[in-house]
Amino acid sequence: MNTDDFAEWSARAAQWGAEYRATLRDHPVRPRLAPGQTYRAIPAHPPETPEAMEQIFADFEGIIAPGMTHWQHPRFFAYFPANAAPVSVVAEYLVSAMAAQCMLWQTSPAATELETRMMEWLRDAIGLPDTFEGVIQDSASSATLAAVLVMRERALGWTGNTAGLRAGPQLRIYCSDQVHTSVDRAIWISGIGADNLVKIPSTGPRHSMDAAALDAAIRADIAAGLKPAGVIGCTGGTSIGGCDDLTAVIRVAKAHDLYTHIDAAWAGSAMICPEFRTLWAGVEGADSVVFNPHKWLGAQFDCSAHFLRTPSDLVRTLAIQPEYLKTHGADGIINYSEWSVPLGRRFRALKLWFLLRAHGLDGLREMIRNHVRWSVALCEKLRATDGIEIVTEPMLSLFTFRPTGADDATTQALIEAINADGRIYLTQTRVDGALVIRFQAGAFDMQAEDAEVAYDVICELARQQGA
């Protein structure tokens, strides 16, 4: 592909993207195709000779695009959002064109320094004190793994990376039963082991970790000769939006000199609205915090904001400096590869810069407040509808429901009918062992009428099921 061809096809791809976004409401949120359909449409072997871009692009439009779930659809109410505001997509075009490897300051100075400034902007926007410094990770999963590795090293006197775990005490990590499974995976990968992740029951209307039970579990482990290493708190758990009482949890952790990490992957974006910060009151006492601007804020995936009170602990855990990675002749620089598990790093800060400037914090606050308001209004309409019961109350823009008195089979049948219909997309979870349906509002281009469509679809299909 020569320069002229590159310009032509770049423009065509951008035009396709604009038309795609403009017509999303015309498509079912989830594709209607059988497993294996796309696979069978692709030749079994790669071509031996070059193929024309016209044919490649035509196959993209005819084979790939029809098989995609439309995560940017305004009626995507499943999982949590993975928003990509158009302005962040434009920034990603530029990042892709430059194709820079941003692992060290010297490999892309502007990328490093913009990242530092963007993390300061985000820190201030969500109300964290300036005692925190930040790094952009690929996902909250990576940030949580990094935090668990710091917990491990700190508890072992910084010997785990050299001596391994066999010679040390049995480590214990504590969290609520509402945390994301990325916590479990971090425990696996760190070598601590699933049997040493202690899940404390959640209680109360916010489904919070029981701080007294946490303290008792830590004391019992110490008495048994085990070594507590850290506590992972939660703000806006994936299942039903559980929020720990961070003041109480961090107080217990500090009493036992344990490292605390707060997972606010989804809900952290809402903290740009001061009125929602009561959900994580006390967060300023944590050792590290993570949230994903690529969820609710509008930055295209991947972009996870990881804040640390003492970054030197993370660097001590992860940094390795062979001669070929050293930067000579420059003082006071940051090499963010020393703050991350991967060595290679994409230029993730540019889309944040474009996003925050193009929309401003006020514009992003309005979007989040609208999502919360529309979700709460939908919850109340469903509550007043015969045949539907609310199971968990709205936590920001997330709540759960099911057919009144339904067993799992009836609830599963309803969600399958909703998703097969295609007008909206929902997912399920379990509450007290029973299957329920999750609703969360968060699509960047959602409007009030999309919540009305959700109400109509849910009621229409629930009535059909009852009939």
Contact present, 262 and 250 (Cβ < 8 Å): no
Q: In whole angstroms, what is the distance from residue 313 CA to residue 158 CA?
A: 9
Q: In whole angstroms, what is the distance from residue 441 CA to residue 77 CA?
A: 6
Q: What would the mean pLDDT of 53-72 be, rounded to a whole number? A: 93
pLDDT at residue 200 is higher than 90? yes
Model pLDDT for residues 263-320, shown as the tens digit of each residue: 999 999 999 999 999 999 999 999 999 999 999 999 999 999 999 999 999 998 988 7
Of 69-78, 319-328, 340-349, 350-359, where does mean pLDDT reach its minimum? Answer: 319-328
């008195």: which residue's tokens? 405
Q: In whole angstroms, what is the distance from residue 179 CA to residue 175 CA?
A: 7
**How would you classify the pairing of strands 227-234 and 434-440?**
unpaired
Please, which pLDDT band fits residue 321 given cuts at 50, 70 and 90? low
Spell out the domains of the chain, with CATH numbers in brackets: 3-67 (1.20.1340.10), 101-346 (3.40.640.10), 361-466 (3.90.1150.10)
Q: What is the pLDDT of residue 325?
A: 55
Model pLDDT for residues 362-413, shown as the tens digit of each residue: 999 999 999 999 999 999 999 999 999 999 999 999 999 999 989 999 999 9
Q: Which amino acid is at 423?
A: R
Q: In whole angstroms, what is the distance from residue 81 CA to residue 74 CA?
A: 10
Model pLDDT for residues 249-262, shown as the tens digit of each residue: 999 999 999 999 99
Q: In whole angstroms, what is the distance from residue 339 CA to residue 315 CA?
A: 6
> Could you tell me which residues come within 8 angstroms of residue 44 by beta carbon, excluding any fewer than 6 positions away?
none
Q: In whole angstroms, what is the distance from residue 275 CA to residue 295 CA?
A: 20
Q: In whole angstroms, what is the distance from residue 403 CA to residue 437 CA?
A: 9
